[in-house]
Structure 1
């Protein structure tokens, strides 16, 4: 399935009421399938909605930028948030987080297409030379990101506590854009 990516979509719920709901539904589904996107299953959409609202508010205020992948029907099937660095010595790179692909599309190339769209979007941002992202160890995500051109540049053992007795590494990945 081919996705169409939109960088900086309208994030005003009055103009695009489906975006917030579809974003929250995607995040809920990905989390409940074991995706490492800030929650541990089980979650319900009400758990996710406040975080979606924060992301959309940050995008509306220009503090972050949203990348949305939609299928042929217009349904949100993939997302990533790109956050410019505010520190004056680090404005040449961005963070990417809340990287998600609909579980029905995993293994179809949609994740790789999303990461290519992230890199393309970052290249349109003035002065950006690299993308950094963090991923949770124990799921092999670093191998996926490495296949997309990212290099592991840092690892903090046991920094993410998924559950009592289940600590995972926090892995930092970097993609130079030049």
Structure 2
């Protein structure tokens, strides 16, 4: 069964806790979303609050995907670029699909929903995201239409002696207007 996506859902305790649980579960399963396992919900929560602050300031939009039970199963945060010469593209952050749903095509569905959301915003022509090297993520994003446009070698220190590339990917939205 497919996920149901919603842009800009109402934030309440249930949604906050659902995203916190998702983020911790993805991190603890080895997902590259800003943490290294093991991670607790208490560790994740301050990072989520930073996203919520950006949302309250109007800089960030939240896209969630719910499974058939209504549980938060996927997220992505769309953040407008505030530099006056770069407002035609936005950043995609914290792209996650719960481990129990991986391998079902939901990651592709999430990226399609994010691109559709970005296309609905005035003046947005592209999406940029970064990913951690060594996980094969650039191949996945590439299969979804993103192009690698930059790489900083060894920019992410997962642990002492385990440095990974920081890879920047770009999706052109093909704006004709």
TM-score by length of 2: 0.96
Q: Which moved more, 1:29-38 or 1:53-62?
A: 53-62
Unaligned runs of at least 5 residues, structure 1? none
Once the two structures are TM-superposed, the CA of residue 60 in structure 1 deviates from its matched residue by 2.4
Considering only aligned residues, what root-mean-square deviation do their CA atoms show, in Å? 0.7
Matched, 1:142 2:123: no
Unaligned runs of at least 5 residues, structure 2? none
Once the two structures are TM-superposed, the CA of residue 3 in structure 1 deviates from its matched residue by 0.5
- The separation in 1 between residues aligned to 2:134 and 2:83, in whole angstroms, is 31
2:93 to 92, 97, 113: 97
- The separation in 2 between residues aligned to 1:133 and 1:100, in whole angstroms, is 13
Secondary structure of 2:68 counterpart: coil
Once the two structures are TM-superposed, the CA of residue 33 in structure 1 deviates from its matched residue by 0.5
- The separation in 2 between residues aligned to 1:96 and 1:21, in whole angstroms, is 21
State the match for 1:86 in structure 2.
82
CA deviation profile, 1:34-70 (whole Å, cap 9, x unmatched): 0000000001100001111121222122121100001
- The separation in 1 between residues aligned to 2:164 and 2:35, in whole angstroms, is 14
Q: Which runs of 4+ in 1 moved over 3 A?
A: none
2:53 to 43, 52, 57: 57
- The separation in 2 between residues aligned to 1:104 and 1:72, in whole angstroms, is 13
Matches within 5 A, 1:10-49: 10-11=10-11, 16-49=12-45
